[in-house]
Each structure stands twice: as structure tokens, then as C-alpha cells.
Amino acid sequence: MRILIVGSGGREHAIAWKVAQSSKAEKIYCAPGNAGISEFAECVDIKAMEFEKLVSFAKEKKIDLTIVGMDDPLVGGIVDEFEKAGLRVFGPRKNAAILEGSKAFSKDLMKKYNIPTAAYENFDTPEEAIKYLETARYPIVLKADGLALGKGVLICNTKAEATEGVKTLMLDKQFGDAGNRIVIEEFMTGREVSVLSFVDGDTIRIMTSAQDHKRAKDGDKGLNTGGMGTFSPSPFYTEEVDEFCRKYIYQPTVDAMKAEGRPFKGIIFFGLMLTEKGPKVLEYNARFGDPEAQVVLPRMKNDIIDVFEACIDGKLNDIELEFEDNAAVCVVLASDGYPEHYDKGFEITGLEEFKDKDGYYVFHAGTKYDNGKIVTNGGRVLGVVAKGEDLKAARKNAYEAAKHISFANKYMRNDIGKAIDEA
């Protein structure tokens, strides 16, 4: 098969790596790709939102299957455009990708179908939102309705902070049009767990659990980021939690989307909070998590092309997902200053240490080739992943591996997976 992957980050590198292991993959392209992805795929200079160019390219190269990794094109309707052109594509249509594209929509869906989530209200104007804050209980959470690179969430401890947060989102437009509408919801406490799933419109197949670290600094301090590291599986995701989520969250979400005339085919990412009152949904995403994909896909035994095709054809019921009985940890190497201001263009050394080294992977996020050298080209630069027989071993291996990679303004958290010690 001739495969096209749309995207350019660590998630897409992990997907390309996994696809390349399939005996069905004859030729892989990635648009636009990055320096690491080029090891497995021919990178094409077409941006993820250039739908017309992507469709033309897929026709010209006789692409058999396109895999969309990123949220922006999915929410923008790339799957609809490919389907109109008679092309086979993996991912939700625009009317289903709204599950991630609008937090207000997803909260209303959960409320309507009794799917456990935090209490909330939606607001279209800053005046209404600020008035609501007069009687709210603190701390409280403000969320930009639209896509904000995983960063449009503000946790506010006081009314003054929350009022400033409303202004930041709705008036200052820190996240652009994503803040035209906001969700204000109760602050939940507990362990956060990420659970990815494959969906074919009716059937859902759950992948192994993972746990992300969103904050920039050690001890979960600093600004929200796209993710500074992750581990899989989560020791807090017990059989009891899994049973509850399958009954009250996972299948009900799939059924709710179908009932709304928005059948979902693709990946549903469930961001969960394990509260004292049971698991609740923090958020939905309509694609693989990043960096969750980097620890989940290396542990997956299945041929991923078989799973993608089963989702498209409504035959996921025939698939049983299998995962290795081990653990994986991903430590993100970022540019110092991320997620705000940072420099790029620094040469990366030490990558050859992991060439063909079993159980170790380096997934590229913000990299590119410059005069034959691989240099930094973003805030999150690399995801260093290592497996181990258990989480503690995987964590030790990942941090040991991270020491071998260098670039001028390298920054990483030193406590990824520290929660493992408390499990």
C-alpha cells in the first residue's frame, strides 16, 4: 500500500514508525514531516491545512490510505475533502471532529447523555462570564472553546485571577478565535489518565492507558504545554476504573455521537480525572495524543494498518488489540523558554546512539535538516522513549538515554513518571 501521513510532530513520527513496520506498507509519504520522519517516509512540502494540494498529491501518487495525525485539519474537514475525492482516509469527519473542536459542544453532549464530567457553564461574551464569576466557587477552570495547541486551559484560584483569565481568552485573544467562546467549569482533583481508543462508528477498542505531564516545570509548576512527557501504563488505571469507564464513558460517547447524527470513525482520546466520586471526563481529543502516542504505539503488537482499515470499514469488531506486558516512558527534550519564547536552529548531537537499539526510540517533534545536520526547529524538539520491564525501569532507561542527546538550549523536566513511586 502507498500511505500518506499528514502532520509534522512527534505523534506523526511515532505513527510513521509504526506504519513502517507493517508488511502492507510499500511506500510512505508524510506532509510536511520532519527530520526524523524522513527516515521512514518521503517528506512532502505541503502544509497540513492545504487540503486541495494534499488531495491532488494523493491522487497523483495513487495513495491507498491517508492517515491524519493533527487536530487542525481534522476539525477543518480534511476527511470530508478526501472522501469527496473518492480517497480512502483515516480520521473523523468534520461533524464528528467537533468532539475536540468545541469544548462547549462536548460538554453539552456529556450533559445530555449523562456521561460523567465536571459541572460547567458556556459563555459567548466576556460580560456574562465575568458576572458568573461573582458567585462561582474557587479554584475554577477556564477553557477556550476551540483548538489552542493543548494550552487554552487556565486554572484560577481567585475571582481576580479568573476575571483576568476571561480577559486573556476573550478580549486579548491569546489563543485567537479559540477564545470567542469559553467554558467555565468546576475544578476537579485526582489523578489524570489518558486513554486512547480506536472507533468505527459503532465499536470501540481501548488501547493501553498513559499519563501525561502538561506543565512546563518540575512539580507540575509553570505554564501549560503540549506535553513534557508521559508514561504507559498508568498504575492508577485499575481494572475497576476500566470497567466503570467502558460502561459509563467509552461506549456511551460513541453511541451519543451516533445518536446525534455524527458517527465517529478514528481515534477518540479520553482525558480522564480519577476523582473521589469516580472517573470523569476532562476532555476529548479526536486524534492520537502527543506525547501519549509515543509510549502507546511502541507497546502495541497489532499491525496498525489492519486497525486503521477496520475503523474505516466498520469492522473493528473483528479486531482485538494486543499490547506488550511492559512499560514505556517518554521524556520530552524542549527548547529552553518553551512554551513562550525560545531560540531554534541549534545542531542536535547524540542521535546515532539509539540507531537500531532495541527498546529505545527518539521521536522527532521540532526538527529539520540544515546543511546536512539535524537542528532544532520548535519548542518541543524530541521525545526520548525507553521501554522497561516495569515503569521504574522504563523511567530509568529514558532518563539515561536523554543524557546522550545534546543541543544548545536543551531543557527537560526531571520528574516525568515520578508519580510511579507513589503508586
Domains and CATH numbers, the chain: 2-93 (3.40.50.20), 125-180 (3.30.1490.20), 191-318 (3.30.470.20), 327-422 (3.90.600.10)
Query: Above 90 in pLDDT, residue 418?
Result: no
pLDDT band at 149; cut points 50, 70, 90: confident
- pLDDT at site 422: 60
Q: Residues 350-396: pLDDT tens digits?
A: 998 887 789 999 999 999 999 999 999 999 999 999 999 999 999 99
Angle, helices 10-20 vs 304-313, to 10°: value is: 100
* pLDDT value of position 133: 95
Indicate the SS3 state at residue 66.
Answer: strand
CB within 8 Å of 149: residues ≥ 6 apart = 175, 226
pLDDT in tens, 286-331: 999 999 999 999 999 999 999 999 999 999 999 999 999 999 999 9
Report CA torsion sign: 388, 419, 252, 294: negative
Q: How many CA atoms lie within 13 A of 295 on its CB side?
A: 41
Mean of pLDDT over the chain: 96
Hey, what's the torsion of the CAs at 318, 243, 299, 323, to 10 degrees? -50
Backbone angles phi, psi at 175, to 5 degrees: -115, 30
**Cα separation values, 123 from 5, 109, 116, 126, 166, Å:** 36, 16, 21, 7, 10
CB 213 within 8 A of CB 228: yes
HSE-CB of 324 using CA atoms within 13 angstroms: 17
HSE at residue 309, side-chain half, CA atoms within 13 A, is: 14
Residue range 268-282: average pLDDT? 97
Q: What percent of the chain has pLDDT over 90?
A: 94
pLDDT digits (tens, 9 = 90+) for 163-208: 999 999 999 998 999 999 999 999 999 999 999 999 999 999 999 9
**How far is it, in rounded angstroms, from Cα 129 to Cα 123?**
6
The residue type at 166: V
